[in-house]
């Protein structure tokens, strides 16, 4: 027979308090992981919102009495002009990505950042380093590529290194005017 006086166990009050403490500990643990995760993802998701239309291609420009189409192709050289939107904080922009594509959808991407050395992409003015337009400025670039390219899209790169996913602008390359001789600009 079992002796009722020696029977030991936990009281209902102590077990209820322990269950409440374990529930609170689990809630704190979940909170410490979920809140930073959500906060970081919200910040990352919204960091490009202000810069979605920061860069654009300049389609044409009047020089003297002539109007020149600036986004054009001459031989294996593709000329395009990038303008940065005025009245914006350019410190959060570290560069842009240009995605070139042909009519079959094949793409070639080039990241462009301040101070990059000249390679297949160069400045039209023969600068030794690449420059990124600041707020209100525009620069002309030449991309030398040995295949046919038909289109280009531009995406901003913000200072965190993230390439924004929405293209700012898209152009279609046309044949350069006979007045523009890119063969002499190297």
pLDDT tens track for 112-150? 888 887 778 888 887 778 888 888 888 889 898 888 899
Section 71-90 average pLDDT:
83
Shared domain for 54 and 143, answered yes or no, is yes
Which residues touch 30 (CB under 8 Å, ≥6 apart)?
Answer: none
Shared domain for 89 and 17, answered yes or no, is no
pLDDT score recorded for residue 58: 86
DSSP annotation of 49: G
Q: How far is CA 113 from the centre of its chain?
A: 11
Token pair for 181: 């001789």
Token pair for 146: 């040995």
Range of the domain at 18: 11-46
Q: Is the pLDDT of residue 30 over 70?
A: yes
Shared domain for 54 and 26, answered yes or no, is no
Shared domain for 39 and 97, answered yes or no, is no
pLDDT score recorded for residue 65: 63
Shared domain for 37 and 99, answered yes or no, is no
Shared domain for 123 and 107, answered yes or no, is yes
Average of per-residue pLDDT values in the chain: 80
Q: Is the pLDDT of residue 1 over 60?
A: no
4 located within any domain? no
Planar angle of CA 55, 63, 111, nearest 5 degrees: 25
Q: Is the pLDDT of residue 85 over 90?
A: no
| Dihedral (CA of 89, 90, 94, 95) sign | positive
Q: Is the pLDDT of residue 68 over 80?
A: no
Shared domain for 60 and 41, answered yes or no, is no
Shared domain for 28 and 74, answered yes or no, is no
Q: Is the pLDDT of residue 183 over 50?
A: no
Section 26-50 average pLDDT:
78
Rounded Cα distance between 32 and 75, Å, is: 58
User: CA 61 → CA 122, 131, 150, distances in Å?
Assistant: 20, 20, 21
Shared domain for 59 and 41, answered yes or no, is no
The CATH number given to whatever domain includes residue 113 is 2.60.40.10
Q: What is the DSSP string of 48-69?
A: TGGGTTSEEE--EEEETTEEEE
Residue linked to tokens 């920061």: 54
Shared domain for 66 and 135, answered yes or no, is yes
Rounded Cα distance between 15 and 108, Å, is: 65
Tally of domains within the chain: 2
């Amino acid at each position: 027979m079992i002796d009722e006086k020696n029977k030991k166990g936990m009281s209902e009050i102590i077990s209820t308090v322990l269950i409440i403490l374990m529930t609170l500990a689990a809630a704190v643990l979940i909170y410490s992981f979920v809140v930073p995760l959500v906060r970081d993802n919200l910040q990352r998701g919204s960091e490009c919102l202000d810069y979605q239309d920061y860069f654009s291609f300049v389609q044409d420009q009047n020089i003297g009495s002539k109007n020149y189409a600036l986004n054009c192709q001459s031989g294996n050289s593709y000329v395009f002009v990038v303008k940065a939107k005025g009245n914006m904080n350019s410190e959060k922009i570290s560069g842009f990505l240009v995605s070139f594509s042909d009519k079959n959808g094949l793409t070639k991407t080039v990241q462009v950042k301040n101070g990059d050395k000249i390679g297949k992409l160069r400045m039209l003015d023969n600068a030794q380093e690449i420059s990124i337009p600041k707020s209100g400025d525009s620069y002309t670039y030449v991309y030398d590529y040995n295949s046919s390219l038909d289109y280009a899209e531009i995406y901003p790169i913000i200072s965190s290194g993230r390439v924004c996913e929405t293209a700012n602008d898209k152009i279609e390359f046309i044949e350069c005017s006979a007045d523009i001789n890119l063969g002499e600009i190297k």
